[in-house]
Protein backbone atom coordinates (compact mmCIF):
# COMPACT_ATOMS: atom_id res chain seq x y z
CA UNK A 1 0.00 0.00 0.00
CA UNK A 2 1.41 3.35 -1.05
CA UNK A 3 1.05 6.16 1.45
CA UNK A 4 2.43 9.57 2.32
CA UNK A 5 4.20 9.66 5.68
CA UNK A 6 4.11 12.76 7.89
CA UNK A 7 6.22 12.63 11.00
CA UNK A 8 5.61 15.07 13.82
CA UNK A 9 5.83 15.49 17.56
CA UNK A 10 2.83 13.32 18.22
CA UNK A 11 2.51 10.28 20.45
CA UNK A 12 0.32 8.05 18.30
CA UNK A 13 0.11 6.89 14.71
CA UNK A 14 -2.95 7.84 12.67
CA UNK A 15 -4.35 6.95 9.27
CA UNK A 16 -6.21 9.38 7.01
CA UNK A 17 -7.71 9.28 3.54
CA UNK A 18 -7.77 12.66 1.84
CA UNK A 19 -10.65 13.87 -0.30
CA UNK A 20 -8.55 13.00 -3.36
CA UNK A 21 -8.16 9.39 -2.18
CA UNK A 22 -4.56 9.65 -0.96
CA UNK A 23 -3.59 7.61 2.10
CA UNK A 24 -1.71 9.67 4.70
CA UNK A 25 -0.01 8.21 7.77
CA UNK A 26 0.86 10.55 10.63
CA UNK A 27 3.47 9.10 12.96
CA UNK A 28 5.74 10.12 15.85
CA UNK A 29 9.20 11.35 14.90
CA UNK A 30 11.03 8.35 16.37
CA UNK A 31 8.64 5.56 15.40
CA UNK A 32 10.52 2.88 13.41
CA UNK A 33 9.49 2.48 9.77
CA UNK A 34 8.77 -1.23 10.30
CA UNK A 35 6.21 -0.33 13.02
CA UNK A 36 4.56 2.17 10.69
CA UNK A 37 4.43 -0.41 7.90
CA UNK A 38 2.98 -3.00 10.31
CA UNK A 39 0.30 -0.50 11.40
CA UNK A 40 -0.68 0.25 7.79
CA UNK A 41 -0.69 -3.48 6.99
CA UNK A 42 -3.01 -4.16 9.94
CA UNK A 43 -5.48 -1.62 8.54
CA UNK A 44 -5.65 -3.02 4.98
CA UNK A 45 -9.28 -4.07 5.23
CA UNK A 46 -10.37 -0.71 6.64
CA UNK A 47 -8.39 1.11 3.95
CA UNK A 48 -9.79 -0.97 1.10
CA UNK A 49 -13.35 -0.46 2.31
CA UNK A 50 -13.01 3.29 2.76
CA UNK A 51 -11.08 3.85 -0.46
CA UNK A 52 -13.78 1.96 -2.40
CA UNK A 53 -16.53 3.94 -0.70
CA UNK A 54 -14.77 7.21 -1.46
CA UNK A 55 -14.16 6.21 -5.09
CA UNK A 56 -17.87 5.38 -5.51
CA UNK A 57 -18.78 8.74 -3.99
CA UNK A 58 -16.44 10.63 -6.33
CA UNK A 59 -17.90 8.77 -9.33
CA UNK A 60 -21.45 9.59 -8.22
CA UNK A 61 -20.52 13.21 -7.51
CA UNK A 62 -18.01 14.41 -10.10
CA UNK A 63 -16.50 17.87 -9.83
CA UNK A 64 -19.04 20.43 -10.97
CA UNK A 65 -18.50 23.30 -13.36
CA UNK A 66 -19.22 26.84 -12.21
CA UNK A 67 -22.42 26.79 -14.27
CA UNK A 68 -23.57 23.56 -12.60
CA UNK A 69 -22.83 25.00 -9.14
CA UNK A 70 -24.79 28.14 -10.01
CA UNK A 71 -27.72 26.02 -11.20
CA UNK A 72 -27.68 24.12 -7.88
CA UNK A 73 -27.54 27.43 -6.00
CA UNK A 74 -30.59 28.72 -7.89
CA UNK A 75 -32.50 25.50 -7.19
CA UNK A 76 -31.53 25.68 -3.50
CA UNK A 77 -32.68 29.31 -3.23
CA UNK A 78 -35.99 28.41 -4.85
CA UNK A 79 -36.66 25.20 -2.91
CA UNK A 80 -35.10 25.40 0.55
CA UNK A 81 -36.69 28.57 1.97
CA UNK A 82 -40.20 27.27 1.22
CA UNK A 83 -39.40 23.92 2.87
CA UNK A 84 -37.91 25.70 5.90
CA UNK A 85 -41.07 27.80 6.19
CA UNK A 86 -43.31 24.72 5.90
CA UNK A 87 -41.45 22.59 8.46
CA UNK A 88 -40.75 25.50 10.81
CA UNK A 89 -44.51 26.08 11.06
CA UNK A 90 -45.10 22.37 11.76
CA UNK A 91 -42.39 22.33 14.43
CA UNK A 92 -43.24 25.68 16.01
CA UNK A 93 -39.74 27.12 15.55
CA UNK A 94 -38.43 30.19 13.75
CA UNK A 95 -34.95 30.40 12.25
CA UNK A 96 -33.39 33.86 12.25
CA UNK A 97 -32.07 33.44 8.68
CA UNK A 98 -31.60 30.91 5.91
CA UNK A 99 -28.34 30.88 3.91
CA UNK A 100 -27.12 28.85 0.94
CA UNK A 101 -23.39 28.06 1.02
CA UNK A 102 -20.93 26.04 -1.03
CA UNK A 103 -19.84 23.94 1.96
CA UNK A 104 -18.39 20.59 0.87
CA UNK A 105 -18.23 18.71 4.18
CA UNK A 106 -21.70 19.27 5.63
CA UNK A 107 -25.18 19.57 4.19
CA UNK A 108 -26.49 21.99 6.78
CA UNK A 109 -25.78 23.78 10.02
CA UNK A 110 -27.59 25.79 12.66
CA UNK A 111 -25.74 28.56 14.47
CA UNK A 112 -26.10 29.43 18.13
CA UNK A 113 -28.29 32.33 17.01
CA UNK A 114 -30.58 29.93 15.09
CA UNK A 115 -29.41 30.96 11.63
CA UNK A 116 -29.60 27.97 9.30
CA UNK A 117 -27.23 27.31 6.41
CA UNK A 118 -27.56 24.70 3.68
CA UNK A 119 -24.98 23.54 1.16
CA UNK A 120 -25.93 23.95 -2.48
CA UNK A 121 -24.63 20.38 -2.98
CA UNK A 122 -27.61 19.11 -0.98
CA UNK A 123 -29.69 19.70 -4.10
CA UNK A 124 -28.02 16.67 -5.74
CA UNK A 125 -30.02 14.36 -3.47
CA UNK A 126 -33.66 13.17 -3.51
CA UNK A 127 -36.29 15.48 -2.01
CA UNK A 128 -36.83 13.02 0.88
CA UNK A 129 -33.19 13.48 1.91
CA UNK A 130 -33.31 17.26 1.43
CA UNK A 131 -36.40 17.56 3.60
CA UNK A 132 -34.71 15.43 6.27
CA UNK A 133 -31.79 17.88 6.41
CA UNK A 134 -34.26 20.79 6.71
CA UNK A 135 -36.02 19.11 9.65
CA UNK A 136 -32.67 18.12 11.19
CA UNK A 137 -31.42 21.71 11.17
CA UNK A 138 -34.72 23.12 12.43
CA UNK A 139 -34.64 20.63 15.33
CA UNK A 140 -31.34 22.23 16.35
CA UNK A 141 -33.24 25.40 17.21
CA UNK A 142 -34.75 23.48 20.15
CA UNK A 143 -31.81 21.15 20.86
CA UNK A 144 -28.32 22.38 19.97
CA UNK A 145 -26.91 18.86 20.17
CA UNK A 146 -27.54 15.33 18.90
CA UNK A 147 -29.12 14.02 22.09
CA UNK A 148 -31.98 11.52 22.27
CA UNK A 149 -34.31 14.50 22.79
CA UNK A 150 -33.04 16.00 19.52
CA UNK A 151 -33.76 12.82 17.54
CA UNK A 152 -37.16 12.51 19.24
CA UNK A 153 -37.91 16.01 17.91
CA UNK A 154 -36.89 14.95 14.40
CA UNK A 155 -38.92 11.71 14.69
CA UNK A 156 -42.08 13.67 15.60
CA UNK A 157 -42.03 15.18 12.12
CA UNK A 158 -40.30 12.37 10.24
CA UNK A 159 -40.73 8.95 11.79
CA UNK A 160 -38.76 7.52 8.82
CA UNK A 161 -35.81 9.88 9.31
CA UNK A 162 -33.28 7.02 9.46
CA UNK A 163 -34.18 5.88 5.94
CA UNK A 164 -33.98 9.46 4.69
CA UNK A 165 -30.65 9.93 6.46
CA UNK A 166 -29.32 6.81 4.72
CA UNK A 167 -29.97 8.46 1.33
CA UNK A 168 -27.23 10.99 2.15
CA UNK A 169 -24.50 8.40 2.72
CA UNK A 170 -22.13 7.46 -0.09
Same domain, yes or no, for 73 and 106? yes
pLDDT tens-digit map of 88-120: 999 999 999 999 999 988 999 999 999 999 999
Q: For the segment 120-160, what is each residue's pLDDT rounded down to a tens digit?
A: 999 999 999 999 999 999 999 999 999 999 999 999 999 99
Q: At 55, is the secondary structure helix, strand, or coil? A: helix
Q: How confident is the model at residue 170 (pLDDT cuts 50, 70, 90)?
A: low
Closest CA to 44 of 66, 69, 23, 18: 23
Structural domain for 119, as ranges: 66-166
SS3 7: strand
Do 43 and 73 belong to one domain? Answer: no
pLDDT tens digit sequence for 35-86: 999 999 999 999 999 999 888 878 877 889 999 999 999 999 999 999 999 9
85 and 28: one domain?
Answer: no
Amino acid sequence: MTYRLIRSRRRTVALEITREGEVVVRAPLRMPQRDIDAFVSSKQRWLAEHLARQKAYRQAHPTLTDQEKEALRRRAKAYLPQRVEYYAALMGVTPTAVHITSARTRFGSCSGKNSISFSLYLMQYPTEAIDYVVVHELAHIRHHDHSPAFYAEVAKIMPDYRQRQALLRP
